[in-house]
Amino acid sequence: MQTSNSCPSTVGRNPFVHELKLTMAETIQIGLMSVTVFPVRLLLVSFFMLLGWPFAFAASLARSDYAIEPQSWWMRFIDVCLRVIMRAMWFCGGFHWIKVKGERATPTEVPILTAAPHSSYFDAIPVTMTMCSIVTKLESRSIPVWGTLISYIRPVFVFRSDQDSRRKTVEEIKRRAQSGGEWPQIMIFPEGTCTNRSGIILFKAGAFIPGLPVQPVVLRYPNKLDTISWTWQGPGAFKILWLTLCQLHNPMEIEYLPIYTPSPEEKDNPALFASNVRKIMAKALELPLVDLSFDDREISLSQGPLRIRDCSSLLDFHQRVCRLRLTAGRTSELLEEQARRARKLQGDGLSLDAFAQFLNLPVTDTLTQIHSLFDQHGDGQIDVRLYVIALSTVHRPLKSMETLRLAFKMYENEENGYVRREDLAAIFEIMLGVKKVELSALFKSLDGSDATRITYDELHHFIEQHPFFVQDYLDFENHPRSQPKSNGHNKDD
């Protein structure tokens, strides 16, 4: 697959991975704190959380999720009590002082606060300090104690089991934002997932669809040892809590940036609005922009013997097919159906118009760009089988063997199930995101096999027997073997 001239920007560090390495001094400190300070802090944090529960429960009784009631004196009293209790809880957790820069706008000025980077459940600190509403999954309501506290701030719940959840969530955000300050401000983390704060990933458009002014809020944790980040790959939730409570002090900074008022063009284009706010926040944080999104996390975290080696071209492809909603509702059955249709073409080239007909879509700029990614010879014709392999790879990056099986179904000989050597190389180039795959080492190691072809069962068995299959038996541009060795080893994850 060719790389587009506008491929996503990347940084050296995967934003969805957090590697925590402790020095000897830090290990000793944590060991001492674990048997002295940690139990006390955990007890106090739990106490204050339980203390806040009856206040939140009482306030939530007989209260509508869809209408706002006038705030009585006792509701104001509960609100103050909860703010004090929550601040005491964070203090006991080591967040002794929290530096606040700038000034938060009032709900009538700005209905939506956009906060970034989102990296941990400790990002709840500014929420409890302001008692803003948030957007959260419905399952959060069932969390013991904490779920009641979440319900108190009147969140916008996301019903993930509902296919129309995205539309309903956006409509509810828009309804509240246009209430003229009647509803509490909504603090939204537009990244939509936690990262390690090495960069600012793509923003979701939900906070920007109403087209109203927003106030960006940037969060900083300037601690030497990052025990805060809770990402998709790294320390789990309890380990993060344990290590954080074992720190003498956990510094945090919250900065309210100037209100951002969208232009008429941005009001009509929420993606542009989100992009411009993201740039301002990245500049304030002095962090790079990383063109990855929540939907790209599995691609960048793929594992196994056939894990993706270079994500750039596949991420570019994924973002383009997402614009056409080609991955929305994509199932294995639909991929199988496309694979059957692609097999019937036997590698015959498809023009742009034929490709559009294959997908039952109109010809658009995005579709033209996707078509050009697979135009290997520059003649305006593509082998649609490569497109199906790429789509399967980005749809289920953690199930590479299923994609390999699908590829064999499109390429194998009907009589004997063999796939030609050059076709297998093309399959691997798409699945691994690499160029110029050479299979000489593989076929030399297949005793008694034809050096020009292979079946899926033969290859599957060989891969199962060799966990470092790609490193040891394939060659391609920028192969790990061409990189300097470290400690005498040449294996990566």
Asked if residues 424 and 35 have their Cβ atoms less than 8 Å apart, the reply is no
Residues 219 and 254 in one domain: yes
Name the pLDDT band for 121 (thresholds 50, 70, 90).
Answer: very high
Of 273, 291, 309, at which residue does a domain stop? 291
What value does the mean pLDDT of the chain take? Answer: 88
Same domain, 375 and 303: yes
For 348-405, the pLDDT digits (tens) are 899 999 999 999 999 999 999 999 999 888 899 999 999 999 999 999 888 899 999 9
Query: For residue 7, what pLDDT band results from cuts at 50, 70 and 90?
Result: very low
In 3D space, the residue among 383, 291, 393 whose CA is nearest the CA of residue 342 turns out to be 383
Instruction: Provide the β-strand partners of residue 382.
Output: 350
* Contact of 316 with 225, CB cutoff 8 Å: no
Q: Is 325 left (phi over 0), alpha (psi -120 to 50) or beta?
A: left
Neighbouring residues of 71: CB distance < 8 A, sequence distance ≥ 6: 79
- The C-alpha angle 233, 239, 245, rounded to 5 degrees, equals 135
Residues 308, 276 share a domain:
no
Task: Give the model's confidence band at 59: pLDDT under 50 very low, under 70 low, under 90 confident, else very high.
Answer: confident
Task: Verify that 127 and 97 share a domain, yes or no.
Answer: yes
Same domain, 241 and 363: no
Residue 44 inside a domain? The answer is yes
Domain count, the chain: 2
Give residue 65's pLDDT: 67
The whole-number pLDDT of residue 139 equals 81
- 177 with 135, same domain: the answer is yes
In sequence order, what DSSP letters do the residues of 157-183 get, joined into one string?
A: EE-TTSTTHHHHHHHHHHHHHTTSS-S
Given 272, 291, 310, which residue is the final one in a domain?
291
Which residues does 406 contact at the CB level (< 8 Å), separation at least 6? 335, 336, 339, 388, 389, 392
Domain residues for 172?
A: 24-291
Which pTM was predicted?
0.83
Side-chain half-sphere CA neighbours of 155 within 13 A: 23
pLDDT for the residue numbered 244: 96
Question: For residue 129, how many other CB atoms are within 10 A of its CB?
Answer: 16
- Where in 205-329 does DSSP place strands (E)? 214-220, 252-256
Helix (H) / strand (E) element for 473: namely: helix 469-473
Tell me the HSE value of 145 on the side-chain side, using a 13 A CA sphere.
Answer: 10
The string of pLDDT tens digits covering residues 136-193 is 888 888 888 888 999 898 898 887 666 677 788 888 899 998 888 888 899 999 999 9
So what's the pLDDT on residue 309?
86
Per DSSP, the residues of 18-77 read ------HHHHHHHHHHHHTHHHHHHHHHHHHHHHHHHHHHHHHTT--SS------HHHHH
Residue 1 clears pLDDT 80, i.e. is over it: no
* Per-residue model confidence as pLDDT tens digits over 15-55: 999 999 999 999 999 999 999 999 999 999 999 999 999 99
Residue 47 lies in a domain: yes
